[in-house]
Amino acid sequence: METLIAGAIDVALALAVVGLAWGALASADLFKAIVLFVAFGLVMALVWVRLNAPDVALAEAAIGAGVTGALLLAAYAKLRAASPDANVARAGGMRGIGSISIRILILLLAAALGCAVWTLPSDYAGLGKEVAANIDRSGVSNPVTAVLLNFRGYDTLLEVMVLLLALMGTWSVGATAPQRETAPGPVLDSLSRLLAPLLILVAAYLLWVGAHAPGGAFQAGAVLAAAGVMLLLSGWRLPAALAALPLRLALAAGPATFLLLAVITVLLEGRLLQLPPLWAGRLILIIETTATISIGATLIALFLGAPPGKEDRQ
């Protein structure tokens, strides 16, 4: 009986995910599409919980639904301001015969992918046992954090670099139309004053607890980004004195620390990012702290869009 209910929940969630994605991509109104996409992200977070992946669920809810939704809505507002007929061109990328043959090809691709995932062997053990065997030498007890920051630390090093690179690309494209600074009403003002310190506390908690429970640097950085986005929306801007060097220090702290650790491990141990087991826990905490600050600052700067100091120029 229990497995029947669990199976029904799984089928309902899978259908909801596909239905929301279809609705988001096929709806005529662009705003409705964005809202359905955010709902799709939140239902995906539930799917991650059902698949025994709470770290991924936290990251999807915070980054995939939260930050991406904020970015999409901000871009939609700027698009409406720039060209009032933003809802035009709903479809029409393919015409006539081309449309039908592309649809048949994609149906065939979907059938092929479905067969491919259905016939995968189900007795593959995966790397869970190897990770569990080596977890004591990794410095943390959460296996996902151990994989992210110790066993596959190289991927995470490149990932923080990619975030910084996206910000450099955004700043180099140039300032788009600035957001109007309206005075916030009393409700938004007091909400942001109340929630910002609480969100910073939650981010610090997520960072600390990531060593032995679901959490970690990326989820904490996303919560910091949520606090920053809320402050930006209620009219706060970084004072000019802080916007030059301290902002750039905050943005570069994570990647620079990680890169420094990589160079040191190559020089001392001969292998890239081979953390010595005695020091691994402390090193991981240092890396995660600087990475959290950098990720939060980078996501906030990506939301703002324009380089600091150039917001008033077109």
Distances (CA, A) of 24 to 11, 44, 111: 20, 14, 22
Among 110, 244, 260, 266, which residue sits at the site for other proteins (rule: CB under 8 A)? 110
Tokens encoding 114: 């479905």
Stretch that binds other proteins, among 34-42, 240-248, 250-258, 273-281 (CB under 8 A): 34-42
Distance between CA atoms of residues 206 and 220, nearest Å? 5
Binding residues for other proteins restricted to 259-288, rule: CB under 8 A: none
> 96 or 270: whose CB is closer to other proteins?
96
Among 35, 131, 253, 286, which residue sits at the site for other proteins (rule: CB under 8 A)? 131
Q: How many helices (H) and strands (E) does the chain have?
A: 12, 0
Of the candidates 220, 228, 224, 225, which has an alpha carbon nearest to the alpha carbon of residue 288?
220
Tokens encoding 231: 């402050």
Among 4, 97, 116, 240, which residue sits at the site for other proteins (rule: CB under 8 A)? 116
> 115 or 267: whose CB is closer to other proteins?
115
Distance between CA atoms of residues 5 and 261, nearest Å? 49
What is the chain's Cα-based Rg? 23
Closest contact distance (angstroms) between CB of 44 and other proteins is 6
> 268 or 313: whose CB is closer to other proteins?
313
| Total residues binding other proteins (CB under 8 A) | 109
Closest contact distance (angstroms) between CB of 251 and other proteins is 13
Closest contact distance (angstroms) between CB of 241 and other proteins is 26
The yes or no reply on residue 144 touching other proteins (CB under 8 A) is yes
Among 187, 241, 245, 267, which residue sits at the site for other proteins (rule: CB under 8 A)? 187
The yes or no reply on residue 126 touching other proteins (CB under 8 A) is yes
Burial of 21 by CB count in 10 Å (0-12 exposed, 13-18 middle, 19+ buried)?
Answer: middle
Residue-by-residue DSSP string for 273-311 = T---TTTHHHHHHHHHHHHHHHHHHHHHHHHH-SPTT-T
Among 148, 220, 227, 273, which residue sits at the site for other proteins (rule: CB under 8 A)? 148
Compute the Cα dihedral for 239, 243, 249, 253 and give only its sign: positive
Binding residues for other proteins restricted to 154-173, rule: CB under 8 A: 155-156, 159, 162-163, 165-167, 169-170, 173
Q: How many CB atoms sit inside 10 A of residue 254's CB?
A: 28
Among 34, 223, 238, 293, which residue sits at the site for other proteins (rule: CB under 8 A)? 34
Closest contact distance (angstroms) between CB of 242 and other proteins is 22
Stretch that binds other proteins, among 184-192, 251-259, 273-281, 282-290 (CB under 8 A): 184-192
3-state class (DSSP) for residue 92:
coil
